[in-house]
């Protein structure tokens, strides 16, 4: 969901809600590891593994908007190795892959 979609839903319960409230709440949820921000589509998605910090990869369908969260250790290891070779210390590793999901490919 995008921030304004969250605001629309929140507005049903709290009619006075404004964008800064939503952005603060989303920032808090992100800090707690409960949601991820999808930069490429300016949206947020709930984390499937909020119990531990992890590198994450997303498959994002450009047709239907479905998002699949992956946590592939091999991808994380490869990115870490490449960053290390470049003497780059990564704070986080998020990979976003856009394309078409299986359901949209079949359509």
Q: What is the CATH number of the domain that holds 73?
A: 3.30.1490.190
User: For residue 8, is it within any domain?
Assistant: no
User: For residue 15, is it within any domain?
Assistant: no
Query: Which pLDDT score is estimated for 16?
Result: 86
Angle at CA of residue 34, ends 28 and 39, nearest 5° = 80
Total domains, the chain: 1
Q: Name the pTM for this structure.
A: 0.81
User: For residue 6, is it within any domain?
Assistant: no
Grouped pLDDT means (10 residues each) for the chain, 107 residues:
87 87 91 93 91 90 95 94 95 94 94
Query: Which pLDDT score is estimated for 59?
Result: 97
User: For residue 37, is it within any domain?
Assistant: no
User: For residue 64, is it within any domain?
Assistant: yes
User: For residue 78, is it within any domain?
Assistant: yes
Distance of alpha carbon 9 from alpha carbon 16, whole angstroms = 12
User: For residue 88, is it within any domain?
Assistant: yes
Show Cβ contacts of residue 81 under 8 Å, excluding neighbours closer than 6 positions: none
**Rg, the chain, Cα only:** 16
Q: Which domain holds residue 90?
A: 49-106
């Amino acid at each position: 969901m995008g921030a304004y979609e969250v605001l629309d839903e929140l507005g049903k319960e709290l009619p006075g809600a404004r964008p800064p409230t939503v952005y603060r709440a989303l920032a808090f949820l992100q800090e707690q590891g409960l949601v991820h921000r999808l930069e490429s589509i300016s949206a947020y998605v709930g984390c499937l593994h909020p119990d531990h910090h992890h590198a994450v990869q997303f498959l994002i369908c450009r047709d239907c908007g479905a998002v699949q969260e992956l946590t592939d250790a091999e991808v994380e290891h490869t990115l870490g190795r490449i960053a290390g070779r470049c003497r780059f210390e990564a704070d986080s590793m998020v990979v976003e892959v856009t394309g078409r999901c299986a359901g949209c490919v079949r359509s």
